[in-house]
Amino acid sequence: MPLRNADWEPNREIPVGKGATLQQFFAVSGKDRFEISVAPWGEGQLKVNGEEIARTAEAKDRSQAFATLKQAAQRYARGESLDQPKKGRARLIPAVKAKLLEGKKGLVVGIANDKSIAWGCAAAFRAFGAELAVTYLNDKARKHVEPLAHALEAPIVMPLDAQVPGQMEAVFERIGKEWGSLDFVVHSIAFAPKETLQGRVIDVPLDGFLTTMHVSCWTFLRMAKLAEPLMKKGGTLFTMTYYGSRAVVRNYNVMGVAKAALESAVRYASAELGPKGIRVHAISPGPLATRAASGIPEFDKLLEKAKAKAPARSLVSIEDVGAATAFLAHDVARLITGDTIYIDGGYHVVD
Ligand SMILES: NC(=O)c1ccc[n+]([C@@H]2O[C@H](COP(=O)([O-])OP(=O)(O)OC[C@H]3O[C@@H](n4cnc5c(N)ncnc54)[C@H](O)[C@@H]3O)[C@@H](O)[C@H]2O)c1
């Protein structure tokens, strides 16, 4: 059955518009479901019924990539054969021609899997040419993180559980020995024991409160301290926060308290480290369906509300968070520091 241009529908679940990081389009022809994903740097992928059948990395921009892949889809729908893409998974790291972060080295903490915000950041940093060190929580997490570390070509991959004394210090020691310097750190970790997170804030026991604050807030200050001597020529520190720090968000509970402390820690650290050229940012993404988010009851409702209320009428993706974070690590952003930067389609400004 022929496939016409008018058959393509955009995926309304992910951001649309010129600036969006990734766009997806669907079309159906007979029993086949076609899916095209395209990125602004001219890379794209065509899948039929979930199987990749064509790919492009050479287009000059998104619309050229979309046009190329639409033609491939039409040929497939007419029963013509296509050149098979190389075996193996589609490339995980986009190819960006402008290597704006080439020569920079950074540590990314918080990759659990390919849905993690930390992964979105790491992939963007790598795409722009940075070299990365990454960590995994423990042996159980290792098998999920190692293939991603491999895709990032990370020369340093180490365990880091913030609750195990010495592991964080060991990571920075190795970076000091192997690299001698560091340009950025992405802190993308948070934890609260389930009963602490899911109860009222005024019921929180001291041990649950301390664990939450330890992993979700203090670790950022500790990383800033360990990074400071390595950032001899300046650098950028990032941590991930959420809107529940400034307004009461149903079910966010004690994590909102921890994020408020974290955002304050960012302000103080920016004042203390600014004279050394070290910038400090709290990145505040809109809700994303990650593993950490699965611990928050009724998270689906939060997603629905975010999409309906945000001026952009769109949920954010980890690619959006990664690209914006990478921009802040570039020298062009050298005078931005100390703030909470929302990547939420504008949700936080609307009543
Ligand atoms: N998902 C969202 O909607 C959302 C929105 C705004 C901010 N955030 C924040 O983004 C950050 C990353 O979360 P995510 O949503 O990508 O989920 P995720 O589950 O992919 O990542 C959370 C990470 O925290 C790590 N972690 C937990 N306890 C740790 C410990 N003791 N030591 C070291 N690491 C530990 C986990 O190993 C995991 O890699 C968190 O700070 C989270 O609060 C998430």
Q: What's the mean per-residue pLDDT of the chain?
A: 92
Residue 120: CB within 6 Å of ligand 1? Answer: no
Beta bridge partners of 22: none
Alpha helices in 152-228 (DSSP H): 167-178, 194-197, 206-213, 219-227
Catalytic site residue from 242, 243, 342, 347: 242
Query: Is 87's pLDDT higher than 60?
Result: no
Alpha carbons 327 and 348: distance in angstroms, whole number = 21
pLDDT band at 79 (very low <50, low <70, confident <90, very high): confident
Q: What is the per-residue pLDDT for 159? A: 98
Q: What is the pLDDT of residue 86?
A: 56
Q: Is 347 a catalytic residue?
A: no
**3-class DSSP assignment, residue 164:** coil
- The runs of H, that is alpha helices, within 24-183 are 62-77, 117-127, 139-151, 167-178
Residue 200 pLDDT > 70: yes
pLDDT band at 14 (very low <50, low <70, confident <90, very high): low
* Digit-coded pLDDT (tens) for 285-341: 999 999 999 988 999 999 999 999 999 999 999 999 999 999 999 999 999 999 999
E strand or H helix at 260: helix 254-273
- Report domain extents, the chain: 5-77, 105-349
Give the number of the atom of ligand 1 that is nearest the alpha carbon of residue 163: 31
Asked about 268 being catalytic, the answer comes back as: no
Cα(110) to centroid(ligand 1), Å: 6
What is the C-alpha separation between 278 and 273, in angstroms, rounded? Answer: 5
List pLDDT tens digits, range 29-45: 888 999 998 877 777 88
Quick one: CATH architecture of 105-349?
A: 3-Layer(aba) Sandwich (3.40)
Verify whether ligand 1 is closer than 6 Å to residue 116 (CB atom): yes
- C-alpha to C-alpha distances, 190 to 45, 79, 210, nearest whole angstrom: 33, 50, 13
Closest CA to 195 of 297, 94, 272: 297
Lowest-confidence pick of 56-70, 115-129, 269-283? 56-70
Beta-sheet pairing, 278-285 with 340-343: parallel
Higher per-residue pLDDT: 5 or 285: 285
Average pLDDT of the residues in 219-237: 98
150 lines ligand 1 (CB under 6 A): no
Cα separation, 299 vs 150, in Å, equals 31
Tell me the pLDDT band of 15, cut-offs 50, 70 and 90.
low
Q: What is the pTM of this model?
A: 0.83
pLDDT of residue 345: 95
What distance in angstroms lies between residue 3's CA and the mean position of ligand 1's atoms?
42
